[in-house]
Amino acid sequence: MSTSAVIRSGVGLRHVQIMALNADGYPNATTQTVYEGVTLSGAMSLTLNDPEPQQIIHRGDDRVFALDTLPPSEPISGELTVSKTNDTVDAILTDDKSFDIGEASLFGLGTDKRGDENQVAVLAYRQSLDTDPASGNFGARRWELRLLPKTYVIPRAGGLEQDTSENRSYTVRPQFVKEHLWGEAFSTSTEGFEQAQMLRGISTDKPKVVAWKATKAGKSSLTLSFPTASPASATGKIAAWVDGVSTVPDTLATTQIEFTTGVVTTNAMVVAFYETD
């Protein structure tokens, strides 16, 4: 079993996954068909601005005699840049709709819905290398991630320019949350904090979040399948939660998880975080 790298060096931006959220903040699964959100194709950069802490200068006797620090007066914010236009993604983010005129498709810009965009979850990752000099896996491929459990991703209109490839920008406004995307609360004993705007992480294979709504629970067994194109790379890399409670499935496979002990009730939300090749 390969271990993740505490010391690593990343580059680029490989993947951005956007998930609509339901009223309880879970990924918006509505059936037992796996929900994996939408891939934002053509991702180029996810720029994050983490403001500097406030510096408090204590003065007296004609000199500075002490320095103190307070948290930043601004939150973390960011910008997501892509090289493609995706009406499906923009509809998830804004609730504006792509509509047809004849055989052409149109989409509104600068609408009266601005300021009322939807909160979504974002999972983004890039390739990385284990660069810990003391690591037995030095130089091994790893995947560095950013997970935003609840954020605004607000599309911004772009123009048309000669001899310039398309670059579209989204304003990113991560919200403060008290629990993970899968509903488990932060605690000082586990995470060391009780609120956060986002999480960073590292995995040996590509990270993925999926969800299901247990609409047919209560039977002797409940089988939930991963996306066909992205099965788990190993059963040991699968973690699952039922209505926010960490729960080990009775059967684990790289293509599915199965519950047979009745822990999943009807309409329960099941979320899995796993790694895929």
Instruction: Provide the β-strand partners of residue 54.
Output: 70
Q: Mapping DSSP to helix (H, G, I), strand (E, B) and coil, where does residue 184 land?
A: coil
Tens of pLDDT, residues 234-268: 999 999 999 999 999 999 999 999 998 778 988 99
The stretch 122-151 carries a mean pLDDT of 95
Mean pLDDT throughout 82-104?
Answer: 95
4, pLDDT greater than 70:
no
Element (H, E) at 90: helix 87-94
User: Band of the pLDDT at 5, cuts 50, 70, 90?
Assistant: confident
Rounded mean pLDDT, 110-115: 93
The residue ranking higher by pLDDT, 248 or 5, is 248
* C-alpha span between 47 and 79 (Å, rounded): 5
- Furthest CA-CA distance within the chain: 78
What does the pLDDT average to over 183-194? 97
Report DSSP state, residue 114.
T
Indicate if the pLDDT at residue 3 is higher than 70: no
Average pLDDT over every residue of 203-210: 97
pLDDT in tens, 49-73: 999 999 999 999 999 999 999 999 9
Q: Which helix (H) or strand (E) segment is 58 a member of?
A: strand 54-60
For residues 178 and 186, is the Cβ–Cβ distance under 8 A? yes
136-146 per-position pLDDT tens digit: 999 999 999 99
Q: What is the pLDDT of residue 6?
A: 86
- Written as six digits, the tokens of 36 are 């994996």
Could you give the strand order of the β-sheet that contains 256-259, starting from the edge strand earlier in sequence? 222-225, 256-259, 251-252
Per-residue pLDDT at 219: 65
Query: Where along the chain do its domains lie?
Result: 8-51+70-205
What's the rounded Cα separation, in Å, for the pair 167 and 83?
Answer: 5
pLDDT band at residue 162 under the 50/70/90 scheme? confident
pLDDT > 70: percent of the chain: 97
Q: What is the pLDDT of residue 188?
A: 97
